[in-house]
Amino acid sequence: MLRLAVALGALLLAVSALAAEIPRAERRSGYDFMSRETRAMQDEDTANPGMLWVLEGGALWSRKTGAAGRACADCHGDARVSMKGVAARHPAFDAARGRPVSLEQRINACRVERQQAPALAHESRELLALTAFVARQSRGLPIDVTIDARTQPFLDAGRALWERRQGQLNLACRQCHDDNWGRRLAGSMIPQAHPTGYPLYRLEWQGMGSLQRRFRNCLIGVRSEPYEYGDPALVDLELYLMWRARGMLMDAPAVRP
Amino acid sequence: MAETLISVPPRARRGEIVEIKTLISHPMETGYRRSQLGARIPRDIIRLFVCTYGGAEVFRAELHPAIAANPFITFSTVATESGTLTFHWTGDNGFSVKETAEIRVE
């Protein structure tokens, strides 16, 4: 009897694990859940407020800074060529740190080590502008993070965080975004949480924000204590979500409600 | 530093109605909010937007605290002559940004 119960339990677990992941054909970007007006805003470069940050990032790209007196462009040249697809590959493994780093961390590493300039604060206007400018160069390209023996443990950690219930509401990310996407939470559509367009302009924020800002929003929403910006746990979660959205097309800088 | 994005059709037929779109980066701080310590955050908004076409004013808008950050203003005008469109945003704390765009009328 006990053995039967254990077997049944295992079967149920297997079924729920299968039900958890969204089949590839059913994956939809947050863009598909938006109103016609908000889509029009994203689609046109002169109406998309995210492009203001891209414009500023383009100016920062060629401005010399730091003790080394070097600009991003001095090493990387034309971003349209050198930065093409870079955002679609991040978080990427960094040998020096022995773990995957986010695009923001990569930019800051370059600033500190190559330009010898102070690191930019998370969510600062400059860091968002540079990230948006770099991410813009990947628009229309498929998300393609590398999962190998080095990154697998971090992917697993990210997935564990995604599936872990937390906060006073005792909710896991998965319960909304895998199991209940397309339904409504207090009047708002629950999207599938594919990070195709970060950093993005959120109308609610009236500004630009990173994926980690979005994570912290959700964590506060379930009344758990949010991780600090740059916390390794958040980068692992970024890696898991990018892997989950593998093959989907980048649309940064996106506009979301 | 305020970034702007302006869309004006580079050429138009005489008498054609053309659509003009402008976007400018600005926080549009209402003046009604308070900081976490309870201090009032002073108002910082764009008050006025004016567009002139060949020196003549064709569009003017007064902006108020309820308008969202990074205001997007779109309007239309009749293409009369080839010339310069001037866009001027002015606001609190001496905010003043001027941009121009050319239009060719055939």
Mean pLDDT of residues grouped by 10 in chain A (257 residues)? Answer: 52 48 93 95 95 97 96 96 97 96 97 96 97 98 97 98 97 96 92 97 96 97 96 98 97 96
A115 within 8 A of A63, measured Cβ to Cβ: no
In this complex, do B3 and A55 lie within 8 Å of one another by their Cβ atoms? Answer: yes
Residue A107 belongs to a domain with what CATH number?
1.10.760.10
Q: What are phi and psi of A61, to 5 degrees?
A: -55, -40
| Interface probe, candidates A44, A45, A52, chain B, greatest B C-beta count within 10 A | A52
Among A31, A27, A212, A25, which residue's Cα sits nearest to residue A139? Answer: A31
Catalytic residues of A: 218
Give the 3-state secondary structure of A91-117.
Answer: CEEECCCCEEECHHHHHHHHHHHCCCC
Q: What was the pLDDT predicted at A145? A: 96
Residue B45 belongs to a domain with what CATH number?
2.60.40.10
- The pLDDT tens digits for B57-82 are 999 999 999 999 999 999 999 999 99
Between β-strands B17-24 and B72-78, what pairing exists: parallel, antiparallel or unpaired? antiparallel
Split into its structural domains, chain A has a count of 1
A213 within 8 A of A228, measured Cβ to Cβ: no
Q: What was the pLDDT predicted at A3? A: 58
Question: What global pTM score does this model have?
Answer: 0.90
Q: Which residues, in sequence order, are CB contacts of B6 under 8 Å at separation 6+?
A: A46, B20, B21, B22, B23, B87, B99, B101
Between β-strands A255-256 and A200-202, what pairing exists: parallel, antiparallel or unpaired? parallel
Instruction: Report the residue of chain B nearest A59, measured CA to CA.
Output: B3
Q: What was the pLDDT predicted at A6? A: 52
* Residues spanned by the domain of A242: 29-257
Q: What was the pLDDT predicted at B1? A: 60
Between β-strands B11-12 and B95-105, what pairing exists: parallel, antiparallel or unpaired? parallel
Q: Can the peptide bond before residue A253 be classed as cis, meaning omega within 30 degrees of 0?
A: yes
Split into its structural domains, chain B has a count of 1
Q: Is residue A4 part of a domain?
A: no
Q: Is residue A17 part of a domain?
A: no
